[in-house]
Structure 1
Amino acid sequence: MIDDFAKEHLHGDLRVMREAMLWKLDGLGEYDVRRPLTVTGTNLLGLVKHLSTWEARYLGEVFGRPFPEPLPRWDDLAERGADLWVTERETREEIVGRCRRVWEHSDATIAALTLDSPGHVPWWPRPDVKLFTILIHLLTETSRHLGHADILREQLDGSTGTSAEYAAPQHDAAFREAHHARIERAATAAAAAFGRGDAGRTQ
């Protein structure tokens, strides 16, 4: 019974995080969902593409249940990083549609297996795993990238929140600028007080 409860709990959390990730795209135009917002090029639609690609692998081939659509080989060096951004030929509908098909396939894998079902991850140094291990890994990765998406969306329009249901109220530009300035003043004062110049940057 505890295994069934644990599996449903982990699966439920994964479902919530998946939907929150797609929610981060809502209301944005094509440029904003694709544009690089960090020096390494991190972007919202690319995060969706990345998460669905790896979920397809982890809850597909790892358990001998390959996702039925083409995926780049995980060991193809020429394709490394291609899952983190979206080309001009790929549509948002394609990326989101494939994402939802991956979820359907993954859900079937989770339903069919027990938490101690064995799998094999050839790109891990200790490749022999259980479904439990993979669910924890996917929750960690999805949560990590959802945090990235939180920051990216906030950069674009100030929107924050963990889901559509719990979206934080948006403040006007004047409020945000005043809040930002208050935190900046505190950081600058602390850097001066504790003897670390250059806005607190350590050497």
Structure 2
Amino acid sequence: MESKTVLQQYLAEQRAGLLSRLDGLGERDLRWPMTRTGTNLLGLVKHVASVEAGYLGDVFGRPFGEPLPWLDEDAEVNADMWAPPEQTSAEIIALHHRSAAHAEATIAALDLDSPGDVPWWGPQHRHVTLHQILVHQIAETARHAGHADILRELIDGSAGDDRGNLADQSADEWASYRRRLEAAAEAAAGS
């Protein structure tokens, strides 16, 4: 299988995994800040879509074509990490799909060694190739998909994915497992 195809498949899997963490949740749960720093599911999707539009668009002279005002220089700090009430989850999910389609068009149009320029990386690192940016975007998307896994478990207890990567255990079995881990942590700490 061609290297570009492999990279595209990994990116597509990570995108799908991220979006699947939103399934079945209402607007409140999608937006609810689950960490001290406000990390929330919908914000993660908005951020990933925005970043992908830049890295697999602007960096290769293929602008996304839609305004993303939350990325403007004068935008509020972290404006890409949450959604105001007037911005629906459906709109953000659609943005994610459009950003992915734009990225896929860029990938299809270019060779892996095609040059790009990331001005926000500074002069020593800004000159890149499509291959480098694809790896970077896969890592970025996977990182946030992992965050989304944890947030979803905190919201409603659901864990794992559609590939069955999490042991199927009862609530009692999970509670027993957790107690074992707590005991191991206490023992390691000398408590």
**Structure 1 vs Structure 2: percent identity of aligned residues?**
51
How many angstroms does 1:75 deviate by?
6.0
TM-superposed deviation, 1:96: 0.3
Partner of 1:200: none
Runs of 4+ in structure 1 displaced over 6 angstroms? none
Scaled by the length of structure 2, what TM-score is found? 0.91
Find out whether 1:68 has 2:65 as its counterpart: yes
Q: Where do 1:129-144 residues align within 5 Å?
A: 129-144=128-143
Q: Gaps spanning 5+ residues in structure 2: where? A: none
Q: Select which of 183, 186, 190 maps to 2:184.
A: 186
SS of the counterpart of 2:75?
Answer: helix
What is the aligned length? 189
Residue of structure 1 equivalent to 2:36? 39
Q: Following superposition of structure 1 onto structure 2, how do residues 40-55 of structure 1 map, counting pairs within 5 Å?
A: 40-55=37-52
Deviation at 1:89, TM superposition (A): 1.0
The 5 A counterparts of 1:1-203 are 5-72=2-69, 74=71, 76-125=73-122, 126-161=125-160, 163-166=161-164, 168=166, 171-192=169-190
Q: What is the CA RMSD across the aligned residues, in angstroms? A: 1.8
Tell me the alpha carbon deviations over residues 47-83 of structure 1, each in whole angstroms, 9 at most, x when there is no partner: 0000000000111111111011112375615333101
Q: Kindly provide the amino acid, as one letter, of the partner of residue 28 in structure 1.
A: L
The TM-score, its normalising length taken from structure 1, stands at: 0.86
- Residue 201 of structure 1 corresponds to which residue in structure 2? none
Between the aligned partners of 1:73 and 1:116, the Cα distance in structure 2 is 31
Q: Is the 8 A contact 1:49 1:95 kept in 2?
A: yes
SS in 1 for 2:189: helix
Counterpart-to-counterpart distance in 2, 1:169 and 1:23:
18
1:166, distance to aligned residue in structure 2 (A):
3.1
Which blocks of at least 5 consecutive residues in structure 1 are unaligned?
198-203
Is 1:159–1:168's contact at 8 Å kept on the other side of the alignment? no
The 8 Å contact of residues 72 and 79 in structure 1, kept in 2 or not, is answered as no
Bigger radius of gyration: 1
Which protein has greater RCO, CA pairs closer than 8 Å, 6+ apart? 2
Amino acid at match of 1:99: H
